[in-house]
Structure 1
């Protein structure tokens, strides 16, 4: 994590335009015109005082280092922070978004309530999670009914849930972390752009836990489990 933050520091290199662009993109995907307005505000200039060179040189610089991506849709071209850098950029700027818990469940249907309670009691400086996303063995579907509006269960075939790390990894990535709810538009936000996913590896099959740990590593996410003493352990 420290290595990646140092890398980000070198990329920004004290250049105010890159700092303003990244802080603006933390709000979600933006067009060139929206970023031009952000630069105008940041430098206290009129919008016509922000040159194409200032905007597009720094966008291209950030894109060359794979920190952002750009995609054209109709007449607009949207820039966004690449998913694996979103949480790093937040940490760099000390920004704390709403949080979302992402994990797996096994036979213990009480875990959802337990993790809600533990986070509320032990993490006094942490806001309550906005959402909970859990993957579950489809054979246990009857044990898991919606508990709260903020809790979502996603069911996987028994064989996959217990034996296919790569499938679970891809599923969690595409259906949770970078999923765009209700829209494929370039302007639509993904889960990781809306909130900070925190990975819970307390429960689930070995394959599910391995896949979740890979997700945490890929996207620079915090990860925890609840130990036998009912304490939250950050890993």
Structure 2
């Protein structure tokens, strides 16, 4: 059965691969990214791409209007958009923290808040976190803003699951290990991750469609490294 799916951060990396995989399975997708050209170039009939900035209030209204007019309801929301900053803490300003949090936390929270009214029993909200945001995991210098923002969405997901526990909507968060994306290359030039965007996207697609049957308010660590 075809699902209605909203995905953020779709211009490259994991989000771009998610669009292609879901589309090939026959689902209806609304792809949101600051750069909508890569998805539009795919010319997939069941995919609509919007130029979307998580800091633009009007952009949220456009998404709401589209769902109301064309779908009526939403089955899956994947909060995939993210911003990384590799900068030593002593050099990281309040503005740096605000910029990272605006995308990774505030934008995720606002889009989720706006779209929950379109969701019903068995709907699923999945947010991409990072192993760097998991308490007790290995930490790396330079990621104070990024990793702390990813820790914030883990706790927020737990709170949403509790607050909406009678709605039948499930909220889960995936803490990903290193994936060989453009964003990783920009933050850590030359580093080679063991997982490709295609591989992790395949896992996320399956979890998005089935995970709500087994999990709610849970953090799943998707990494083959320890700790």
Report TM bin, short chain.
0.3 to 0.5
TM-score by length of 1: 0.32
Higher CA-based Rg: 1
TM-score by length of 2: 0.33
